């Protein structure tokens, strides 16, 4: 995936990193939409890729992409005659330095470099088109805002398919840094590689902090220099920040989104904060921060008046963004693109405040999104699947707090009724929580499935008939206690490798 | 000057920083060429500015610029009714935050932000036109390449009129750093301000190292964290680097030019070099380095074949540059512009090699330039002045090594002869070294004047009649021993304040 971030643009093609946690059906939707000419598949996902191909239509109007399998380094496998392997392909190329002259050079810097699908707030995956210019500037701004430096050794715990690893794929190269890649994100693997390669930086969603805390760093390892960690995806609780800093990780909090080509805000540390009590420091650190240097403007606006909210740390509004690194738009989706850009800014759907010192803090997310282990889950998409079940009349999905994933979907379901045989009334159809969850697991990526289903007679609505999700969220919050135990039990049952497979 | 770097572009105007070491005549040439509408003058240079105005033509075709005097902060002076003062002008403006909406926003990022005159290789000052885009990217690349960081406290020992302070004027703001300005660059002032403000970074020409070494840092000052120094302008001798590092300055060597909008190469430190003996480290550090991240390409090319030289650290060629930060051209000077860009690259006129590790090292400068205390002196310009002397027949000026300024001009002069009264022969006109040096001091900035004049019967020439300056340089090198003593004597006679006034 790292090599792809350079090789693909160097041929003049557009990169389309695929989230490996998606199921075959969703990947097939993406491929039908993106229409790639070539598909590079790591051997770990060979089975998934073959399943995807079976789901794709195969005709002249959209031929199947050419598949290139990537073997484990040092242990190549036999491929069928129709299957190409990556290293073999590379060996066929001209790798002499002199051939760099024939490298594709981008003619217009606003041309696309990558296409990144995001589930976003609506159901169908949307393809965010990122320009060379946007990626270039975003990559530089991370080097500056996070002080990546010129002696960088970067550990990949963040997937590169997430907004091109928040553009760090390119930042590391621009810094002349060293990449350390892991096949599985587990505590032993992380700690082993930190010691082995002298890791200086890593970025991750806050969920990885729990993995770090569950593991144990080698006694003999050099703890004199803290490892710089950039976190984002969901706001890290202050208490968690405190714990992870104590075991040698210096955390910077950032905020970004695929539509803005990676990081937009960095919580830049102010020297005078060093004099504050530790807990207060962590509260300051949990704020999303100030705009990075290459973003033209970030503002928080009243969604009705479109006026900037006062810098009081209290008045809420929508976070909006302007500048070079904002996406070109969603591929073949003018409606979603124009909605996303109404009023001339990129509308993030995230609700926040601005503090008197200019730091932005997110107070609430756009109501529908559930962020689980750093993944955006569209509640609408989960609901649509539930609506496909024969016995479901109505479904509303909201976030339920989860100790490991931050949030997880909780479904509120009203079942269909049928008239009784004597016409005297009606009775509800019968199904179980397990049945609905299993149904979801068959029809969407597992991480998107509800972990809890609550059956109800009615869903709460406002006077316009719109479902009051805020009320459902309150109910879901009360369910957290049981889920904590269930969650921990599951983690312990499946062990650390299960946890890592979700990241 | 710092405020001008923001205020001027924010009005949509182009900044034209003037070298305060120039004499009135040269400044008048620049103003006639640049045609500024306003001239901001620090009170220290009020006398010089009035002299410049007397030299300027005054007619409708080119009206005099409006002069704004900048008083010492806290001690405003009386001005005549025609003279405006800076703080008074600022007070008349609308400084509320809301007025930022009326700030000029650049329509085309390739529009000019500044005009920087350089004496360059030819006689007349040439106006380098720098674009917003070039300045922006160059400013960012310095933050990255020199690791300026987000807790920057920057001491200005580098004049801001030198390529906009190598674009650090904008880099410091982009980093959210603190500027510390000095009126006079002396050792006591430098050391006082380092302690007072907790300076982290400074940039300077190597001549400043001698000032640092002559002064003495306060015993009570915090020496735990070395001060990061970026140096350039002329190659720093390894021995000097070693000495200055021992007193708490961590030096990075860079290379740049006004035509490339500041720094182009940074000698980025490689961790494995830490294992080498100190003297070898300093030799590596004295190399100019690798290209910064926003420059598209830097190469060393054979000037005849235009082919890249091999990376052997031996084969010499001209250093050429390509990329965003390369100037738009010389103002109203298409001939110089096209000469400078022949073969599609910016030709620096500097001769260097590429080492196997990709680091560029300058081996020789373009033959005519003399670099004295970080100032480029055009030998052609000095020669032209000498040619204006009634008794001078021929003059050739070359660099002579100088222990304080690095180099200083040395003139080789052939005097005119007149026929003797009896027509039987001719005799040389008589003048003295002192007479010629005094004549130069009356006709050009003092720092450009030759410190040595050698009278000869003939100048050495090649078969095409071109003067062989390489031979003259060899002769000038032999003169260094006498000059060392003279140089040191002068420094001690005039004291440190004399040294600092040259910077």
Contact at CB, B150 and A151, closer than 8 angstroms = no
Residues of chain A in contact with residue B293, where contact means CB-CB under 8 angstroms, are: 140, 174
Q: Is the pLDDT of residue B212 over 80?
A: yes
* Confidence label for A78 from pLDDT (cuts 50, 70 and 90): low
The per-residue pLDDT for A464 is 55
Mean pLDDT of chain A: 85
Is the distance from CB of B500 to CB of B211 less than 8 angstroms? yes
Average pLDDT over residues A216-244: 81
* Confidence label for B417 from pLDDT (cuts 50, 70 and 90): confident
The per-residue pLDDT for A500 is 27
Cα–Cα distance between A30 and A56 in angstroms, integer? 10
Q: Is the pLDDT of residue A485 over 60?
A: no
Q: Is the pLDDT of residue A412 over 80?
A: yes
Residues of chain A in contact with residue B143, where contact means CB-CB under 8 angstroms, are: 144
Q: Which residues pair with A202 in a beta bridge?
A: A155, A229
Contact at CB, A150 and B145, closer than 8 angstroms = yes
**What one-character DSSP code corresponds to residue A327?**
-
**Nearest alpha carbon to residue A262 among A158, A173, A368, A343:** A158
Q: Is the pLDDT of residue A120 over 70?
A: no
Mean pLDDT of chain B: 85
Percent pLDDT > 70 in chain A is 86
- Which one has a higher pLDDT value, A381 or B399? B399
Q: Which of B143, B147, B151 sits opposite A271 (nearest CB)?
A: B151
For an interface test with B, the pick among A147, A177, A308, A310 (most B C-beta atoms closer than 10 Å) comes out as: A147
**Nearest alpha carbon to residue B69 among B94, B48, B96:** B48
Among B37-46, B67-76, B90-99, B414-423, name the most confident range.
Answer: B37-46
Residues of chain B in contact with residue A152, where contact means CB-CB under 8 angstroms, are: none
Q: Which of B145, B149, B294 sits opposite A147 (nearest CB)?
A: B149
Contact at CB, B144 and A145, closer than 8 angstroms = no
* Euclidean distance between the first and the last CA atom of chain B, given in angstroms as a whole number: 16
Residues of chain A in contact with residue B176, where contact means CB-CB under 8 angstroms, are: 268
* Confidence label for A113 from pLDDT (cuts 50, 70 and 90): very high
How far off is chain A from B174, nearest CA to CA, in Å?
7
Nearest Cα residue in chain B from A266: B150
The per-residue pLDDT for B494 is 30
Average pLDDT over residues A329-357: 93
Contact at CB, A145 and B150, closer than 8 angstroms = yes
With residue A240 as reference, give the H or E element that holds it: helix A238-246
Residues of chain A in contact with residue B269, where contact means CB-CB under 8 angstroms, are: 150-151
The per-residue pLDDT for A495 is 29
Q: Kind of pairing, strands A317-323 and A346-354?
A: antiparallel
- Which one has a higher pLDDT value, B463 or A318? A318
- pLDDT tens-digit series, residues B161-208: 999 999 999 999 999 999 999 999 999 999 999 999 999 999 998 878
How far off is chain A from B314, nearest CA to CA, in Å?
20
Nearest Cα residue in chain A from B137: A137
How far off is chain B from A144, nearest CA to CA, in Å?
6
Residues of chain A in contact with residue B147, where contact means CB-CB under 8 angstroms, are: 147, 149-150
Least confident of A233-247, A318-332, A425-439, B324-338: A233-247
Tell me how crowded residue B308 is: count the other CB atoms within 10 A of its CB: 14
Distances (CA, A) of A5 to A8, A247, A310, B364: 6, 33, 41, 40
Average pLDDT over residues A326-349: 94
Contact at CB, A174 and B268, closer than 8 angstroms = no
Which tokens is B398 given?
A: 């070359």
Contact at CB, B147 and A143, closer than 8 angstroms = no
**Nearest alpha carbon to residue A264 among A236, A305, A224, A233:** A233
The per-residue pLDDT for B113 is 98
The per-residue pLDDT for A487 is 37
Average pLDDT over residues A62-83: 78
- Which one has a higher pLDDT value, B110 or A280? B110
Report ipTM for this prediction: 0.79
Nearest Cα residue in chain A from B144: A144
Is the distance from CB of B332 to CB of B129 less than 8 angstroms? no
Average pLDDT over residues A358-362: 91
Q: By three-state DSSP, how is residue B415 classified?
A: strand
Q: Is the pLDDT of residue B234 over 70?
A: no
The per-residue pLDDT for A81 is 61
Q: Is the pLDDT of residue B485 over 80?
A: no
The per-residue pLDDT for A96 is 61
For an interface test with B, the pick among A137, A150, A252 (most B C-beta atoms closer than 10 Å) comes out as: A150
Is the distance from CB of A207 to CB of A232 less than 8 angstroms? no
Contact at CB, B271 and A151, closer than 8 angstroms = yes
How far off is chain B from A462, nearest CA to CA, in Å?
39
The per-residue pLDDT for B98 is 53
Average pLDDT over residues A267-278: 90
Q: Is the pLDDT of residue A484 over 70?
A: no
Average pLDDT over residues B72-99: 72
Average pLDDT over residues B82-111: 77
* Confidence label for A142 from pLDDT (cuts 50, 70 and 90): very high
Q: Is the pLDDT of residue B392 over 90?
A: no
- Which one has a higher pLDDT value, A420 or A160? A160
Average pLDDT over residues A114-136: 84
Contact at CB, A268 and B147, closer than 8 angstroms = no
The per-residue pLDDT for A79 is 64
Question: How many CB pairs lie under 8 A apart between chains A and B?
Answer: 35
Q: Is the pLDDT of residue A22 over 80?
A: yes
SS (H, E, C) B191-232: HHHHHHHCCCEEEECCHHHHHHHHCCCCCCCCCCCCEEEEEC
Which tokens is B90 given?
A: 């600022």
Q: Is the pLDDT of residue A143 over 80?
A: yes
The per-residue pLDDT for B21 is 86
Contact at CB, A268 and B144, closer than 8 angstroms = no
Cα–Cα distance between A254 and A233 in angstroms, integer? 8
Which tokens is B29 given?
A: 């040439």
Contact at CB, A144 and B174, closer than 8 angstroms = yes
Nearest Cα residue in chain B from A290: B176
The per-residue pLDDT for A435 is 93
Contact at CB, B268 and A150, closer than 8 angstroms = yes
Nearest Cα residue in chain B from A138: B140
Nearest Cα residue in chain A from B147: A149
**What one-character DSSP code corresponds to residue B149?**
-
How far off is chain B from A325, nearest CA to CA, in Å?
15
Tell me how crowded residue B321 is: count the other CB atoms within 10 A of its CB: 22
Residues of chain A in contact with residue B171, where contact means CB-CB under 8 angstroms, are: none
Q: Is the pLDDT of residue B35 over 60?
A: yes
Q: By three-state DSSP, how is residue A166 classified?
A: helix
Average pLDDT over residues B20-38: 91
Residues of chain B in contact with residue A143, where contact means CB-CB under 8 angstroms, are: 144
- pLDDT tens-digit series, residues B150-161: 899 999 999 999
Cα–Cα distance between B470 and A270 in angstroms, integer? 55
Percent pLDDT > 70 in chain B is 86
Average pLDDT over residues B257-279: 92
Q: Is the pLDDT of residue A367 over 80?
A: no
Cα–Cα distance between B489 and B498 in angstroms, integer? 12
Residues of chain A in contact with residue B149, where contact means CB-CB under 8 angstroms, are: 147
Which residues of B make CB contacts under 8 Å with A?
Answer: 140, 143-145, 147, 149-151, 174-176, 268-269, 271, 293-294
Report the number of secondary-structure helices (H) and strands (E) in chain A. Answer: 16, 24
Neighbouring C-alpha atoms within 13 Å toward the C-beta of B97: 2
DSSP string, B358-406: S-EEEEE--TTEEEETTEEEEHHHHHHHHHTSTTEEEEEEEEEEETTTE
- pLDDT tens-digit series, residues A87-101: 888 888 766 655 555
The per-residue pLDDT for B490 is 35
pTM of the model: 0.80
Cα–Cα distance between B148 and B179 in angstroms, integer? 13
**Nearest alpha carbon to residue A324 among A275, A261, A278, A374:** A261
Q: Which of B147, B175, B176 sits opposite A149 (nearest CB)?
A: B147
Among A204-218, A265-279, B162-176, B394-408, name the most confident range.
Answer: B162-176
- Which one has a higher pLDDT value, B493 or A320? A320
- Which one has a higher pLDDT value, B349 or A173? A173
Contact at CB, A140 and B145, closer than 8 angstroms = no
Q: Is the pLDDT of residue B498 over 50?
A: no
How far off is chain A from B293, nearest CA to CA, in Å?
7
* Confidence label for A123 from pLDDT (cuts 50, 70 and 90): low
Q: Is the pLDDT of residue A211 over 70?
A: yes
Cα–Cα distance between A326 and A135 in angstroms, integer? 9
For an interface test with A, the pick among B136, B139, B140, B228 (most A C-beta atoms closer than 10 Å) comes out as: B140
Distances (CA, A) of A254 to A90, A239, A271, B149, B416: 37, 17, 18, 17, 74
The per-residue pLDDT for B470 is 83
Percent pLDDT > 90 in chain B is 52
Domains of chain B in sequence order: 1-102 (3.40.50.980), 112-295 (3.40.50.12780), 369-501 (3.30.300.30)
């Amino acid at each position: 995936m790292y090599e792809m971030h350079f090789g693909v643009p160097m041929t003049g093609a557009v990169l389309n990193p695929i989230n490996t946690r998606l199921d075959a059906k969703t990947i097939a939707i993406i491929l039908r939409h993106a229409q790639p000419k070539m598909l590079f598949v790591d051997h770990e996902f060979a089975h998934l890729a073959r399943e995807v191909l079976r789901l794709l239509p195969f005709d002249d109007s959209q031929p199947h992409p050419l598949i290139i399998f990537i073997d484990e380094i040092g242990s190549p496998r036999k491929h069928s005659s129709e299957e190409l392997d990556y290293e073999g392909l590379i060996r066929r190329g001209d790798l002499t330095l002199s051939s760099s002259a024939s490298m594709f050079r981008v003619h217009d810097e606003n041309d696309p470099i990558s296409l990144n699908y995001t589930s976003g707030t609506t159901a169908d995956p949307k393809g965010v088109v990122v320009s060379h210019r946007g990626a270039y500037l975003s990559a530089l701004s991370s080097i500056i805002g996070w002080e990546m430096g010129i002696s960088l050794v970067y550990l990949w715990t963040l997937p590169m398919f997430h907004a091109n690893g928040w553009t760090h794929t390119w930042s590391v190269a621009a810094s002349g840094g060293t990449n350390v890649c892991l096949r599985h994100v587990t505590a032993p693997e992380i700690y082993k590689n930190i010691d082995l390669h002298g890791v200086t930086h890593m970025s991750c969603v806050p969920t990885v902090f729990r993995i770090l805390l569950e593991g144990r760093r080698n006694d003999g390892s050099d703890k004199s220099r803290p490892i710089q960690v950039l976190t984002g995806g969901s706001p890290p609780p202050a208490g968690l920040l405190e714990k992870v800093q104590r075991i040698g990780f210096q955390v910077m909090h950032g905020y970004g989104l695929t539509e803005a080509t990676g990081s937009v805000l960095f919580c830049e540390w102010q020297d005078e904060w060093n004099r504050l009590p530790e807990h207060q420091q962590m509260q300051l650190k949990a704020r999303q921060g100030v705009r990075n240097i290459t973003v033209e403007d970030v503002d928080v606006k009243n969604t009705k008046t479109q006026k900037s909210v006062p810098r009081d740390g209290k008045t809420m509004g929508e976070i909006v963004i302007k500048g070079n690194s904002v996406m070109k738009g969603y591929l073949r989706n003018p409606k979603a693109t124009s909605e996303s850009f109404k009023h001339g800014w990129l509308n993030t759907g995230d609700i926040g405040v601005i503090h008197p010192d200019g730091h932005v803090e997110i107070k609430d997310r756009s109501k529908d999104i559930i962020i689980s282990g750093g993944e955006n889950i569209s509640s609408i998409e989960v609901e649509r699947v539930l609506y496909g079940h024969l016995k479901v009349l109505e479904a509303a999905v909201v976030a339920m707090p989860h100790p490991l994933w931050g949030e997880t979907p909780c479904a509120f379901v009203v079942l269909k009724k049928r008239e009784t045989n004597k016409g005297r009334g009606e009775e509800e159809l019968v199904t179980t929580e397990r049945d609905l969850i299993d149904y979801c697991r068959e029809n969407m990526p597992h991480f998107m499935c509800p972990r809890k289903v609550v059956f109800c007679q009615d869903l709460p609505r406002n006077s316009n008939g719109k479902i009051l999700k805020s009320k459902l969220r309150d109910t879901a919050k009360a369910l957290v206690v049981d889920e904590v135990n269930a969650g921990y039990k599951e983690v312990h049952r499946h062990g650390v490798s299960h946890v890592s497979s979700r990241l």
